[in-house]
Amino acid sequence: MIDQPGKLYLGREFFPSSQQTADEPFTITLRDLITHAVCLGMTGTGKTGLGINVLEELLLQGIPLIIIDPKGDITNLALTFPAFAPYDFKPWLTEDEATHSRITLDELAVRTAQKWREGLAGSGIGPERVQALRDRASVRIFTPGSDSGMAVNLLQGLNPPAGDRTNRESPEPPDLQLRLDKILFSIYSAARMTLRTHRHHHHRGRWPCPRGCMR
């Protein structure tokens, strides 16, 4: 049984000497990931695949995830096709891949769908489990500096508050003043960190502190 509460299914143990696969599923417990984990290996050894496997298992356990993915591989978590239909795979394939295999794009889609169906079936994963993953995971992809996903606006909090701002003589409300102080402190801290990193050793100048930022 591959679905067990509190356990993450990673596959089945393979024995190179006999070229055989163990009958029992290989799992780790959620407690194994309480602190930190690292995955090391040479290029092409399956680090990304293992990482995606663990993340999918966590989603199946109902655990929400925040994933920082500079390379862009983990976004494949959004590609779950329980029906294993060729038309689901086709938009994610390219003409170059089909040409390299000397087949049409439609034929490549059929071949890819069959490959995924048979590969997952070999690990005891059928359409029902893929559907369960799709039902439990609501994927949101944020793309800073790009409009290919959900935009990230770090300065949205600096928008002026609603209301009449024409009277410059009236003092700022206390809550607004506190909010401005926090924003200024955050900007100052980030700028000061950058300055320390990039300035020359002979330069000892310091930036002035914005009003109220160090209170």
Question: What per-residue confidence (pLDDT) applies to 92?
Answer: 92
Residues 30, 1 share a domain: yes
**Does one domain contain both 5 and 68?**
yes
pLDDT, position 111: 96
Average pLDDT, whole number, for the chain?
80
Q: What is the pLDDT of residue 162?
A: 63
In a domain, 146, yes or no: no
The whole-number pLDDT of residue 81 equals: 94
When divided into structural domains, the chain yields a total of 3
8 domain-assigned = yes
Residue span of the structural domain in which 194 resides: 154-162+170-215
Which of the residues in the chain have pLDDT under 70?
154-174, 192-215
- 57 and 100 in a single domain? The answer is no
pLDDT of residue 31: 87
- Asked if 147 and 121 touch (Cβ cutoff 8 Å), the reply is no
Q: 């029906």: which residue's tokens?
A: 83
Show which of 44, 76, 108 is a domain's final residue: 76
* Closest residue by Cα to residue 129 from 3, 1, 13: 3
Tell me if 33 is assigned to some domain: yes
Does residue 32 lie in a domain region?
yes
Question: What is the reported pLDDT for 96?
Answer: 94
Same domain membership, residue 93 and residue 38 = no
* Structure-token pair, residue 7: 């356990």
